[in-house]
Chains A and B, each alone.
Chain A
């Protein structure tokens, strides 16, 4: 079974500083990996996804993530934090075989990002 571990339930950075949110996955088959963001009282919005094309994936709002198979990691970064980036971020993995009907996103526990002025 697949799993996702997000290190750090809370991360605080200063405005303009580098954002690094960590995600490690466990999967017995090549995974598809996603980062979602959730603003208060809202649903989840996709930031970016890895589907085995390029290992460096660029997403919306200046975020990017790099798939590193040797480290089983998919960390999310942004060079310069903005106040509007304050939210909760979820890493998720999706594996399964279409013909067996096994398909679901398994989420990490989330990382709340605070941006200090």
Chain B
């Protein structure tokens, strides 16, 4: 079974631009979560989607948004990029939205904002 895939793997953008990252979950998984990883703040939860509905959102500004499609693929968008948005963005999928279920992580998209 194929794992979680994320595209692109690397991105370089400039301040003020916007970016869209894509995540394809494991087949049959309906829950997709996004995390931001930085050296200073560590791993922080962005949001979770389940069956095309955002079920939970972390403490990030409104510039960070996401969506999920009917095939469970998810995208996250960051508008008006800031230097501090440089990070590794990780996507994770799980079968459902139950706390004890394992989240399987993709390799991440590394975003550099110049």
Contact = CB atoms under 8 A, between A and B. Distances in A.
Given A36-B105, A43-B105, A90-B43, A105 B33 contact: yes
Interface residues of A, number: 28
By secondary structure, the B interface counts as strand
Contacts of B105: 36, 43-45
A103 B100 contact: no
Interface string A28-44: 00001010100001111
A44 B105 CA distance: 6
A101 B48 CA distance: 9
Contacts of B43: 90, 92, 105, 107, 110
Interface in A76-110: 90, 92, 94-96, 98, 101-110
Given A43-B106, A44-B90, A46-B104, A104 B97 contact: no
B102 A49 contact: yes
A55 interface: no
Contact of B55 (A44, A101, A106): A101
11 contacts: A43-B90, A43-B105, A43-B107, A46-B102, A103-B48, A103-B98, A104-B58, A105-B43, A105-B45, A105-B92, A107-B42
Interface of A: 32, 34, 36, 41-46, 49, 51-52, 90, 92, 94-96, 98, 101-110
4 nearest A-B pairs in the assembled complex, by CB-CB distance: A101-B55, A43-B105, A107-B43, A51-B100
Given A36-B105, A43-B108, A96-B56, 8 more contacts: A41-B107, A42-B108, A94-B100, A103-B98, A104-B45, A105-B45, A110-B42, A110-B43
